[in-house]
Amino acid sequence: MTVGSGGVASGVTAQGQSGEVDESLMEVSAGGIARGTVVDLGRGPAPVGLLIDPGGVASGTIISGGYEEVYGVASGTVISKGGGEKIYTGGASYQDLVSSGGALAVSAGGLASGAVALSGGGLTVTTGGRISSTGVSGTLKLSSGASASATTVYKGGKAYISSGGTATATTVVSGGALYVDKGGVVSATAVSAGGVMTVSSGGSVGAGVNLLGGAATLNAGAIDSGAVVSFAGSGGNLAIGSGGVFSGQVTGLGTGDKLDLGGFAYDASHALESVAFVEATGGLSGTLTLSSGGKTESVTLLGAYATSNFTLGTDKHGGTIVGWVASGGFAPAAPAVLQFAAAVAAFTGAAPGAALPLAATSAAHAPLLASPR
C-alpha cells in the first residue's frame, strides 16, 4: 500500500507473519500522510512494515513487530517489544516512546528529538546521528561520530558514550549512570544525588561537571585543563582515579562533600600522609596537595580555604578521602624524633623545655610545624 502526495491514511494495520514484507509493506511518499498506523509483522527477522519517504509524514504509529524506516518525518511513535524504528539521512522523529524490548536507531544524518526510552528499551545512535531532549530509563549507546544534547538519565538508565561520541548538557538523576569510554567526550554534565558518572582513562570532560550530591569518577587525563567541577548542595563525591592527573578546578567543596583519591593508601596515623592548602595571591583560590608514600596529587580549589578545613579518611577500599570541615581538620603527626623527645621527658619527669638526653637533642633541629590556619 502506498500513500501518495495529498493522500491520507488513518488507522491502517500492517499485519502478517515475520518475513511477509511484500504483502505487508506500507509506504508513505512525499506529500502523503499516515496517522495511527499499526505495524505488527511478528517476531524473528526484521521486516519493514512502514516506509516513510522524504517528504512523507507519519504520526501516532504503533510498532509491535517489524520496523518503521524514516527518511521523512515521524512523530509520536510507540515502539513495543519486537518493534523498531530506524532514522536515516534526512529523517527525523519526534516524541517517540520506546518500551521494553523496543529499539530506536538513529543513523548518519538522522535526528531523534524528545524520545523516551523506558526500562528495557534501547536507543542507539551511530556515526553522524543526533538525538536531543532525550529521557533514558533503558539504555543509550552513542557510537563514534554520534552526538546527544540535553539527555536525562533516570533511575535504572545507563548511557554509554563510546570513542568519538559526544554528549552535551547531560543530567544524571538518582539511580542513573553515565559511562564515558576512552575517546568519548562529555560537557556541561550534572549529576544529582544517587547518580553516577564514570569517565575512563582517555575520556574527556569539558565545560565542567556540576555535582548536585552525585558522584563522579575521573580517571587519568579525564578532564580538560581548566574545566570546573562544581559541588552544589551536600554529599557530592569526586573520585580521581589511580594515576590520574587532575588538571581541572574544583569549586563549592563543603560539608559532606568528598575528594576520593583511590591511588593514595590511607594512613590512619598520618605519619606518612599529609594534606596542605596553599592560598594563591588574592585569596580567591589555592592549591590543595595530598602527599602519601612519596606520591602527591594537587587540586586547584576556587574559594577561600585553610589546611585546618580538611580531614583525611578511608574510602573503605584502601584509598584516601579528603573531606571538608569548618575547623579542627588535619593535624599532622609529630616527627618521630619529637615523639621520642616527649616520651623521654615523660619518663624522666623533665619539665617542658628542660635539657634532654643527647639522643634526643636532634629534636631541636627538626622542622617546625606550621599551625593549621
Q: What is the tens place of the pLDDT at every residue in 8-62? A: 888 888 776 544 444 447 899 999 999 998 888 765 555 788 899 999 999 999 9
* 248, part of any domain: no
pLDDT of residue 181: 93
Quick one: average pLDDT of 261-274?
A: 77
pLDDT of residue 159: 98
Q: Are 52 and 68 in contact (CB under 8 A)?
A: yes
pLDDT of residue 371: 39
* 207, part of any domain: no
Quick one: average pLDDT of 170-194?
A: 95
Quick one: average pLDDT of 232-256?
A: 82
Q: Which residue has the higher pLDDT, 42 or 315?
A: 315
Q: Strands 285-292 and 295-302, how do they pair?
A: antiparallel
* 254, part of any domain: no
Q: Strands 320-324 and 310-314, how do they pair?
A: antiparallel
Q: Measured between alpha carbons, how far is 175 from 179 in angstroms, rounded to an integer? A: 13
* 226, part of any domain: no
* 111, part of any domain: yes
Burial zone of 336 (CB within 10 Å; 0-12 exposed, 13-18 middle, 19+ buried): exposed
The answer to pTM > 0.85 is no
* 92, part of any domain: yes
Structural domain that includes position 73: 1-130
41-50, 184-193, 221-230, 343-352: range with lowest mean pLDDT: 343-352
How many domains, in total, are found in the chain? 2
User: What is the number of helices (H) and of strands (E) in the chain?
Assistant: 2, 40
* 182, part of any domain: no
Quick one: average pLDDT of 259-266?
A: 81
pLDDT of residue 46: 59
**pLDDT at 105 exceeding the cut of 90:** yes
Burial zone of 91 (CB within 10 Å; 0-12 exposed, 13-18 middle, 19+ buried): buried
Q: Measured between alpha carbons, how far is 131 from 112 in angstroms, rounded to an integer? A: 5
Which of 130, 146, 173 is the C-terminal boundary of a domain?
Answer: 130
Which of 102, 130, 158 is the C-terminal boundary of a domain?
Answer: 130
Instruction: Quickly list H helices, the chain.
Output: 21-24, 336-348
Which of 85, 107, 130 is the C-terminal boundary of a domain?
Answer: 130
pLDDT tens-digit series, residues 112-171: 999 999 999 999 999 999 999 999 999 999 999 999 999 999 999 999 999 999 999 999
Cell of 50: 512502514
* 85, part of any domain: yes
| DSSP one-letter code for 23 | H
Cβ-Cβ contacts under 8 Å for 331 (sequence gap 6 or more): 270, 372
pLDDT over 70 percentage in the chain: 82
Helix (H), strand (E), coil (C) string for 184-239: CEEEEEEEECCCEEEECCCCEEEEEEEEEECEEEECCCCCCCCCEEEECCCCCEEE
**pLDDT at 336 exceeding the cut of 60:** no
Q: Measured between alpha carbons, how far is 351 from 179 in angstroms, rounded to an integer? A: 61
Q: Measured between alpha carbons, how far is 231 from 204 in angstroms, rounded to an integer? A: 19
Number of Cα atoms under 13 Å in the Cβ half of residue 10: 1
Which segment, 31-45, 173-187, 294-308, is predicted with the most confidence on average?
173-187
pLDDT of residue 370: 39
Q: Are 320 and 314 in contact (CB under 8 A)?
A: yes
Mean per-residue pLDDT of the chain = 82
Cell of 57: 509524514
